[in-house]
Structure 1
Amino acid sequence: MTAQIAAITNQIIIFAILMAIGFIAAKTDIFTKDALNTLSRLIVKIILPALIFSVVAGSGVTAREFLISGRFTMGVVFCFSLLILASVAMSKLCKLEGKSANIYVALLTFGNMGFMGIPLIQAIFKEPVAQVCIAVYTLVDMALLWTFGVYLCSRHQKNSNPLHAVRNMLNPTTVALCIAFIIMLFKIPVPDLLMSTIAGTGGTSKYLTLMYLGGALAYVSVDNIIKKPSILVSTIVKMLVLPVIVYYFLGFFLPQIPRTILTIIVGLPSMTTVAMMATTYQSDDEYATEMIFVTTLASLVTIPIISVVTNMMA
């Protein structure tokens, strides 16, 4: 476990450096808002799908190994149920209404798995079970994000309908995920040259996305955040309290590695994609950006803390 804490600490330091580079680039006009928007589209439409495809299709996991992952799937369902219930309760305690309440639930439910979670998990765990965990979680996460998540971001609109969100599942990330699952389950060979190209493209995710996050943070108003105590309170609940609760209860039915992976995922900062969805559906994108700002910065401290605390609980 000491080696795990060291690995997490090393990754967090790398994350901090990359975010600092992006922040400085924004402050020196290398990353303008237009440049960040272009980079965001590149990441979401090309780099993230390439990362997910290479992780799932190139995992070497057999169909049998994937199909016996029922207990981990139960753990994923438990985590999402807890996150949704906690976010709804917290939104009422914080007296949020309308767009802000809707986007709040989405921000607490969905963590930054693609941009931060996958690179972090891959750096810490080399065992094949980690690839299974990433594949299973990503499948559930993407299905919920592009249905329930879209509904939350658009439910304030008069013509909002949960069924309309299903069509939003047809995007580069979910298509890449579905193709990768078919390749993994049926052991379809992929030419090495093609796989190495896709893996190399996806491998840039950690560097580009963290520099993007650092650049985006440079355009957030800290004064507005101070006036919204709900953001600060929720950060503590999402990134410190809930991961400890999850780690404790998962210990009753999950082995140590899947248990730790899910704990890390629950403690991830809010998903950047939620802010993009909020903008698309004219929801409270300002609140979303501010929450992502705070949770992303906080994660540089809270993830190592959770690692130490769970190490003591093990």
Structure 2
Amino acid sequence: MSITIICLQLLQLLMMICLGFVIGKCHLFHHHFSNDLTKFVLNITMPFLILSSVTTSHFDQLPILDILYASFLLVILLPIIAYIIIKVFHIQKDASLHMFMISYPNVGFMGFPLIQSIYGQGALLYTAIINIGFNISLFSIGIFMMNYQNKHEFHFSFQKIITPGIISSLLALFIYAFSITIPSPIANFCTNIGNMTTPLSMFIIGLTMSQYHLKQMLFEGRVYLFCIFINFILPICFMPLFQFIQNNIVKGIALIILAMPVANSAALYAKTYHQNEQLAVQTIFISTLLSVITIPLLVYFFLI
């Protein structure tokens, strides 16, 4: 694994984000364009990206125990740690949002593209399995977190969990489990559609950031401290737990996922559940910028 390659990949992702930001500031599209594009990525291109991980790759035996252990750390333990952090540091203002932002890294929009670029197409299946847990958690624990300080009654909806991403992940597992051979035209179709995910995902992040004033987002010291904590310090704290993962690819995926910037869903949930939307977008923006530095550092010190 070359640290130079990782830095170049992150730089390319950042350039795509910058393009989305500039185009957003130029107001070339209707304000609903970003929402429609987000739905297109989440419901169309990303499911095909997940399917392409099994239609064009050959796998050895799946390291299921390592994947389940990594899923437990990232999906179950991480929200518990987030709650403890809020209590220990006596965070009162925007406590719900802070818990959410600690618990949900940007697996979809940045995790899949970056992990694919580092470990190849085959690693997407491992990531997709872990992401199933994140999706289930997002529509259950995530909603509960956002209502932690609200008087809104918590409602769990099973229908919200059955998303195209979940369906494609389960279908990918089915294809893998039964060693189903996919005809090359279909496999190439899945790959071509799935390859749209990376540029569009980064473009969406840039469009989202362009809706806010750049100076207002950049100059907030407390947000920088929070982003350094979740981008860099928290993954380091988890490293002793990651050492129990035997498969090096799964270990790398777990670390990279935890080092991802805050998920875009933080802004969507903040708006839906009457939280501080500006803080959410500001944290997404700064943590995404810092990840260009923090992810290569973590990979260099712990994975190479």
Gaps of 5+ in 2: none
SS in 2 for 1:33: coil
| Residues in 2 aligned to 1:189 and 1:127: alpha-carbon distance in whole angstroms | 16
Task: Tell me the matched-pair count.
Answer: 302
| Residues in 2 aligned to 1:236 and 1:82: alpha-carbon distance in whole angstroms | 20
CA contact (8 A) 2:106 2:261 kept: yes
Alignment of 1:219-238 (within 5 A): 219-222=211-214, 224-225=216-217, 229-238=221-230
Q: TM-score, normalised by structure 1?
A: 0.85
| Residues in 1 aligned to 2:90 and 2:212: alpha-carbon distance in whole angstroms | 22
RMSD over equivalenced CA pairs, Å: 2.6
Instruction: Tell me what 1:148 maps to.
Output: 141
**What amino acid sits opposite 1:151 in the alignment?**
F
| Residues in 2 aligned to 1:150 and 1:168: alpha-carbon distance in whole angstroms | 11
Q: 1:121 to 1:136 in 2, by over 3 A?
A: same
Q: 1:194 to 1:277 in 2, by over 3 A?
A: farther
**What amino acid sits opposite 1:85 in the alignment?**
I
Q: 1:96 to 1:196 in 2, by over 3 A?
A: farther
Q: More helix per residue: 1 or 2? A: 1
Q: 1:165 to 1:205 in 2, by over 3 A?
A: same
Deviations 1:286-307 (A, max 9, x none): 3322221111111112112222
Instruction: Tell me what 1:101 maps to.
Output: 95
Q: Is residue 2:119 matched to residue 1:121?
A: no
Gaps of 5+ in 1: none
Q: 1:75 to 1:280 in 2, by over 3 A?
A: same
**What amino acid sits opposite 2:82 in the alignment?**
S
Q: 1:218 to 1:159 in 2, by over 3 A?
A: same
Q: 1:160 to 1:29 in 2, by over 3 A?
A: same
CA contact (8 A) 1:58 1:184 kept: no
CA contact (8 A) 2:112 2:124 kept: no
Instruction: Tell me what 2:53 maps to.
Output: 55
**What amino acid sits opposite 1:303 in the alignment?**
I
CA contact (8 A) 1:61 1:132 kept: no
Q: 1:43 aligns with which of 21, 37, 41?
A: 41
Q: 1:172 to 1:154 in 2, by over 3 A?
A: farther
Instruction: Tell me what 1:257 maps to.
Output: 249
Which runs of at least 4 in structure 1 moved beyond 6 Å after TM superposition? none
Q: 1:26 to 1:132 in 2, by over 3 A?
A: closer
Deviations 1:143-179 (A, max 9, x none): 2222212332345353313xx2333102222122222
CA contact (8 A) 1:90 1:234 kept: no
Identical pairs, percent: 22
Instruction: Tell me what 1:112 maps to.
Output: 106
CA contact (8 A) 2:19 2:206 kept: yes
| Residues in 2 aligned to 1:58 and 1:146: alpha-carbon distance in whole angstroms | 31
Q: Is residue 2:297 matched to residue 1:305?
A: yes
Instruction: Tell me what 1:86 maps to.
Output: 81
Q: 1:239 to 1:211 in 2, by over 3 A?
A: same
